[in-house]
Amino acid sequence: MVSLVGYLTSHRENKAKYVYNILNEGDATFIPKGPIHFIQNLSCETTVNLNTYDYEDPGLLTLAPNLFRFQNPTLEAAFGQDGAGIESIRSKISTYALDRDPECMVRCGITD
């Protein structure tokens, strides 16, 4: 069982840093409160993740689909990309936070 866990640090002068860990069975990691983060199962085996929070309802915010509702000029300025770059990013973003990766589904023989 292998999982990829990552988050973006707070930016300083638009220099956000991507931090990630590859977790194997029995490993643990820490994600500070607040940053954009994710976890992805990299294997075809079932994984179990235990998450703890210091508050009752951490909620769920589907940041990427909502962020990319902004018009291109705003996103171009924010990401330092031209229109084609923004459209390339937008085309890869799922509309639902828990969508499955089609390549992973094929590799793991998942058909539902």
pLDDT digits (tens, 9 = 90+) for 43-80: 888 888 888 888 787 777 777 777 888 899 998 888 88
Round to whole Å and give the CA distance between 41 and 47.
7
User: Looking at residues 31-41, what average pLDDT do you find?
Assistant: 82
Tokens of 104: 């992973």
Angle (nearest 5°) at CA 36 between 86 and 78:
35
Task: Count how many residues are written for the chain.
Answer: 112
User: Looking at residues 74-89, what average pLDDT do you find?
Assistant: 88
pLDDT at 49: 81
* Residue pair 19/35 in contact by the 8 Å Cβ criterion: no
